Amino acid sequence: MSQTTERVKLLIIGSGPAGYTAAIYAARADLKPVLYQGLQPGGQLTITTEVENYPGYPEGIQGPEMMMDFEKQAKRFGTDIRFGYATSVDFSSAVKKVVIDEKHTIEADAVIIATGASAKWLGLDSEKRLNGFGVSACAVCDGFFFRGQEVAIVGAGDTAAEEASYLAKLCKKVTMLVRKSEMRASKAMQHRVLNTPNIEVLFNHETVEVIGEKTVDAIKVRNTVTGEENTIPVTGFFVAIGHEPNTQIFKGQLNLDESGYIITKAGSTYTSAPGVFAAGDVQDHIYRQAVTAAGSGCMAALDAERWLASQGIH
């Protein structure tokens, strides 16, 4: 049971580009936001090394450093930033209730959800160890670093096919590993992949290990039919087996799509619960970029500000 209760005007859950941008706008609008950072302060960017595609950083920047900049800016305008994570919510009444760390209840007039999504991984120790050092879950983010090199990508759906096609434009060769005898991707995407000369699709293949000391040197793969193992020299290893939105605690409270992403009203960050807004990857399974997350964080703060005013809450 909750031991303490606190009342706030605006609560922001999550601390990636969406959460921090929402905090910057909300604090400047004098909404006195309280932000809880969650289990991974800074979000997915804290496990990213070089970020070269965010405007305003002409020389690029390390992901964790960039998130520290976001945090400092949110703090500068008076955001109350706290460590802790939301463990349950109740959006059924005008005052929203969010329990933090199973013991502290926040009662809020408005809530912005920016809990993000987590990439699904294969679960290999070597994959975890080399994450950010040749292992990536985002070809659009990191493909640029592998120009003219040979890389591998794991996955069988539209995202994997799309990312393989993207990598093929930059890389010398792309080996696509598909665990079963066919892809799940749409026929159009399969056609594109199979007709790209520098993409080799290995059906019935799974990854056994990512090889390399400090960076990726090769991958060991196994044929799932014959059991035969081979080593393929690559410098980059991309995992495209999907993302999991961090929305478990919102089930039954908000409308979610079949994959668990929060559904927002078109052209806005409004969710199905009045006074609850969603920004960033928790509601975006298409773009999933730091810059689009930040943009929707700005939208959420503006939507929340207008909604609070419409309710006579200033």
Active-site annotation holds for 138:
yes
Q: Give the contacts of 94 (CB within 8 A, at least 6 positions apart).
A: 274, 275
CATH architecture of the domain covering 121-239? 3-Layer(bba) Sandwich (3.50)
CA atoms within a 13 Å half-sphere pointing along the CA-CB vector of 205:
22
* The one catalytic residue among 30, 80, 109, 138: 138
Asked if residue 144 lies in contact with residue 44, where contact means CB atoms within 8 angstroms, the answer is no
Tell me whether the CATH fold assigned to 4-118+243-310 matches the one assigned to 121-239: yes
Active-site annotation holds for 142:
yes
Active-site annotation holds for 303:
no
> What is the reported pLDDT for 1?
52
Domain boundaries, the chain: 4-118+243-310, 121-239
Statement: 4-118+243-310 belongs to CATH 3.50.50.60:
yes
Cα–Cα dist 27/76, whole Å = 9
* The one catalytic residue among 80, 90, 125, 142: 142
Among residues 264, 290, 261, 291, the alpha carbon closest in space to that of 277 is found at 264
* The one catalytic residue among 109, 141, 284, 303: 141
Q: For every one of its 314 residues, what pLDDT tens digit does the chain have, with 9 covering 90 and above?
A: 558 999 999 999 999 999 999 999 999 999 999 999 998 888 878 766 678 889 999 999 998 999 999 999 999 999 999 999 999 999 999 999 999 999 999 999 999 999 999 889 999 999 999 999 999 998 988 999 999 999 999 999 988 999 999 999 999 999 999 999 999 999 999 999 999 999 999 999 999 999 999 999 999 999 999 999 999 999 999 999 988 999 999 999 999 999 999 999 999 999 999 999 999 999 999 888 999 999 999 999 999 999 999 999 97
